[in-house]
Structure 1
Amino acid sequence: MNLFRSVRAVTTASGTGVIDWDAVAEAAKSSTDPGDLTLSAEEREGFASDVRDARTRLQTVAGVEFDLPDTVEVQNRHHWIDANVRTFRRVMAPVEEHGVSVLPGVTRVLNTGTMAVMLSFLANNVLGQYDPLLLAEADDADHGLYFVRPNIVKVADSLDVDYPRFRRWIAFHEVAHAAEFGAAPWLSTHLEQRMEQGIEALADGGVDRQAFRELDTAMTAVEGYAELLMDWAFDDDYSDLRAKLDARRSGGGPLAQLIRRALGLGLKRRQYERGAAFFTAVADRRGVQAASRVWDHPDNLPTDEELDTPEKWILRVDP
């Protein structure tokens, strides 16, 4: 790590946009240890077999057909930063198009520093990621599946859990997201439209609460359904892994907790819990394949009210 280089990259941010993305990447990587990516043949095959097994089990349990992403990568932290700089650059494009009229140089440095700190923090904590490549411009853009090997190894060690089992659990969770987007070809467009509406409103100085509310509801369904599939598809009970990981995430120093709140990671946990409770209730009454009907059409997504009253969703979608 080179903190001086990281600070220099931020303070010398340049260009015409509100964020210097090249400086973001340099600063985030300079302040982040890339981690070890030395894979034995056995470990490489372990990642591959975990992903294949997850696809087979999830197809069987959910009764949905889906393809694995064309891009499946075992990454170090710097690889993850590069991939997500590209993602955030796409998402923030509508805001950057508006630019700033007051102290643009100072604003650019502050925004660049904020993004670098955020990506550095996430790069040290993300275990796996399913990336649907929202807002990608290329017509042939496909989704991606990433595993940050140094973080998986580190967390498994800190939790004192079996590394192959922990790695497999992460694989099942991320492949569950691939199953959702594979079962619902319309889902990417649905999320993109709400995201674009919300970001464009912010760029114009307003807040489109309806767009963000619909985005939150859809993401709650995405996270909750993945949790349901995990309950049914994983090899064994994983409550010990979830409890240990939740305890670890609720710990950390004041700075880590502040960053987590700023990044909305508490909201993500709430989405997991609320969505999982909804889909568990539906599956208990009608089975997993009835719960999978949520992906048949955008109108089948639960409303905010239905997330807390699953019986209303059942009466509407699967009477």
Structure 2
Amino acid sequence: MSPDNPAVPGPDGPETPAWEQMLRAMLGDGADAAIREMRERGFDPAQMAGASGLPDDPRLVEQAVAQVQRLLAAAGDDPVNWQMAHDLARQQASVGGDPALSPGRARDVLDALSVAELWLDAVTDLPPSSGTPHAWSRAEWVEATLPTWRTLTEPVAASLSGALVDALGASLPEEAAGALPGGLDPSHLLRQLGSAVFGMQVGQGAGTLAREVFGTTDIGLPLLDSPAPALVPANVDAFAEGLDAPLDEVRLFLALREAAATRLFTHVPWLRAHLLATVEAYARGITIDVDQLEEAVSSIDPTDAAALQQALSGGVFAPHTTPEQRAALERLETALALVEGWVDEVTAAAAIAHLPHTVALREMVRRRRAAGGPAEQTFANLVGLELRPRRLRDAAALWAQITRDGGPSARDAVWDHPDLLPTTQDLDDPAGYASRRAAAVDETAEVDRALAQILGEDPTTATGAAGEPTDAPTSDDEPTDPADREDPPTR
């Protein structure tokens, strides 16, 4: 048996080629007709198996056959095979080991989160989250966050799956369709295969992220339905290796970031829905150039592995963005930058009096977020956008400027309503934010007075709160420098 025609023991003893095992797993009783049809058309199944990289290890072939059988036997019409995504994510998360947390390691994390809440009380008006803090293994992180991955990825998976069925379903020859077991609808088979592909992508991305993230808010989006601070000690320890700062200090700094972001998502109720809805709006608008896809598929020689790889990497499946999508992407990038910038600024304000390496750790985290990682790239390929706050430094500078102008209360009050969020213009010119906000408030007050006159109401009463800048501090005695506050007790 040649290397390009690997074989495994057949059910009755003789060796059966691996490619034949795979076809029989997919086509059942129709495999003989399909093989005969392929040979009559000049396709050598053994050569195709070698070009596709079919493994020559009998155990791997058996596993692949079993996976294909499970795939085709799976029920449901979900655009993503979530069982496959779950299993693969768990497998990826365990690469390199994922032991259960000892009581001591879990206690270290929970103590760090507790101290972080005390320090944050001194620099922000937003109260702690009511969620129970957690210390998780990587597998536990996967289990807790996978429901949100479903919300994020299903819209684009459904769009792409439909486009693939439209492009490929009608082009299947009748002979191939008739060879499918049990009269299976070719479109249904294509949807199942597409669901498996997306399941693998989601599982790969979530599992890889499980080995990288510190908590539940690292990518800028809240990954829990009910926000609660959590850290993955294995990833915190890995990040601390090679740094000059002690592990305890690194853990406290990352606990501050996680606790700050959790406070924000807990007490700004519209923020999570705003971010996820923007991602969904972007994803639902994704389309595929079906004509280009059909042309590429029709010109591919299945036996030419190089041609196949070139076609798949040449943008055939790349989504085409619309003006509406570009607008949604700009809104998302601005919102992500504002979230990350607020967390960055508040964390630094809380840490500077207690952690000697605050400045260095802040810069390390900034660079890490700006560079991204393989898991974020996987998500970018799947959903079509990158979850990186490109303007994190600009947003942090804006929040610092607002704090200098009006104090921490003014900074936190910006989150009272989505209409108050700074814009890209504010990121470009943080120093002019206060004057632009005051002008906007004056314009709103003028409109309110005009409406009051039309309606016969008292213009003075109508002006009321609208005439007051929403970013004004609540107290003239509020200190603007976190160092002027009394330090909370340390632990």
Residue 206 of structure 2 contacts residue 375 of structure 2 at CA under 8 Å; is this kept in 1?
no
2-structure distance, mates of 1:84, 1:115 = 12
Query: Which of 281, 304, 310 is 2:430 aligned to?
Result: 310
Identity across matched positions, percent: 23
2-structure distance, mates of 1:187, 1:119 = 23
Q: Which residue of 2 aligns with 1:36?
A: 99
Residue 24 of structure 1 contacts residue 115 of structure 1 at CA under 8 Å; is this kept in 2?
yes
Query: Which of 85, 89, 99 is 1:24 aligned to?
Result: 85
Q: Which residue of 2 aligns with 1:226?
A: 343
Q: Is structure 2 residue 202 aligned with structure 1 residue 115?
A: yes
Residue 176 of structure 1 contacts residue 229 of structure 1 at CA under 8 Å; is this kept in 2?
yes
2-structure distance, mates of 1:289, 1:198 = 33
Q: 1:93 to 1:109 in 2, by over 3 A?
A: closer
1-structure distance, mates of 2:64, 2:118 = 46
* SS at structure 1 position matched to 2:196: helix
Residue 290 of structure 1 contacts residue 318 of structure 1 at CA under 8 Å; is this kept in 2?
yes
Give me the TM-score of the superposition, normalised by structure 1. 0.80
Residue 426 of structure 2 contacts residue 432 of structure 2 at CA under 8 Å; is this kept in 1?
yes
Q: Which residue of 1 aligns with 2:124?
A: 62
2-structure distance, mates of 1:166, 1:8 = 46
* SS at structure 2 position matched to 1:152: helix
List per-residue Cα deviations over 1:8-46 (Å, max 9, x = no partner).
7875544432321111121222233252333244x4333
Q: Is structure 2 residue 114 aligned with structure 1 residue 52?
A: yes
Tell me the amino acid that sits aligned with residue 120 of structure 2.
L
Query: Which of 201, 221, 244 is 2:285 aligned to?
Result: 201
2-structure distance, mates of 1:149, 1:213 = 34
Q: 1:200 to 1:310 in 2, by over 3 A?
A: same
Residue 278 of structure 1 contacts residue 308 of structure 1 at CA under 8 Å; is this kept in 2?
no
Q: How far does residue 261 in structure 1 lie from its aligned partner after superposition?
A: 4.2
Residue 110 of structure 2 contacts residue 134 of structure 2 at CA under 8 Å; is this kept in 1?
no
List per-residue Cα deviations over 1:21-74 (Å, max 9, x = no partner).
111121222233252333244x4333222222222322321123343324x221
Q: 1:115 to 1:133 in 2, by over 3 A?
A: closer
| Structure 2 portions without partners, runs of 5+ | 1-58, 169-189, 289-319, 438-469, 473-491
More off after superposition, 236-245 vs 291-300: 236-245
Residue 340 of structure 2 contacts residue 389 of structure 2 at CA under 8 Å; is this kept in 1?
no
Give me the TM-score of the superposition, normalised by structure 2. 0.54
Pick 1 or 2: higher relative contact order, CA cutoff 8 A, min separation 6.
1
* SS at structure 1 position matched to 2:93: coil
More off after superposition, 154-163 vs 224-233: 154-163
List per-residue Cα deviations over 1:254-288 (Å, max 9, x = no partner).
xx966554545975252432321221232233333
| Structure 1 portions without partners, runs of 5+ | 135-140
1-structure distance, mates of 2:192, 2:471 = 55
2-structure distance, mates of 1:177, 1:302 = 18
Residue 152 of structure 1 contacts residue 167 of structure 1 at CA under 8 Å; is this kept in 2?
yes
1-structure distance, mates of 2:269, 2:128 = 10
Query: How much is the aligned-residue C-alpha RMSD, in angstroms?
Result: 3.4
1-structure distance, mates of 2:129, 2:364 = 31
Q: 1:46 to 1:176 in 2, by over 3 A?
A: same
Q: For residues 76-115 of structure 1, what are the structure 2 equivalents within 5 Å? A: 76-95=137-156, 99-100=161-162, 101=165, 102=168, 103-115=190-202
Q: How far does residue 7 in structure 1 lie from its aligned partner after superposition?
A: 6.8
Query: Which of 399, 402, 409 is 1:282 aligned to?
Result: 402
Query: Which of 59, 67, 74 is 2:135 aligned to?
Result: 74
Q: How far does residue 200 in structure 1 lie from its aligned partner after superposition?
A: 2.5
Tell me the amino acid that sits aligned with residue 231 of structure 1.
A
List per-residue Cα deviations over 1:216-270 (Å, max 9, x = no partner).
211211110001101111122412224455677889xxxx966554545975252
Tell me the amino acid that sits aligned with residue 409 of structure 2.
Q
1-structure distance, mates of 2:145, 2:273 = 19
Larger Cα-atom Rg: 2
Q: How far does residue 78 in structure 1 lie from its aligned partner after superposition?
A: 1.3
2-structure distance, mates of 1:246, 1:312 = 25
* SS at structure 2 position matched to 1:18: coil
1-structure distance, mates of 2:196, 2:266 = 39
Tell me the amino acid that sits aligned with residue 264 of structure 2.
E
Q: 1:25 to 1:282 in 2, by over 3 A?
A: same
Q: 1:133 to 1:117 in 2, by over 3 A?
A: closer
Q: How far does residue 214 in structure 1 lie from its aligned partner after superposition?
A: 1.6
Q: 1:248 to 1:187 in 2, by over 3 A?
A: closer
Residue 58 of structure 1 contacts residue 233 of structure 1 at CA under 8 Å; is this kept in 2?
yes
Q: Which residue of 1 aligns with 2:235?
A: 151
2-structure distance, mates of 1:191, 1:250 = 19
Query: Which of 392, 402, 413 is 1:293 aligned to?
Result: 413
How many equivalent residue pairs?
305
More off after superposition, 308-317 vs 174-183: 308-317
* SS at structure 2 position matched to 1:50: helix
Residue 19 of structure 1 contacts residue 109 of structure 1 at CA under 8 Å; is this kept in 2?
yes
More off after superposition, 103-112 vs 297-306: 103-112
1-structure distance, mates of 2:84, 2:377 = 24
Q: How far does residue 142 in structure 1 lie from its aligned partner after superposition?
A: 2.0
* SS at structure 2 position matched to 1:202: coil
* SS at structure 1 position matched to 2:134: strand
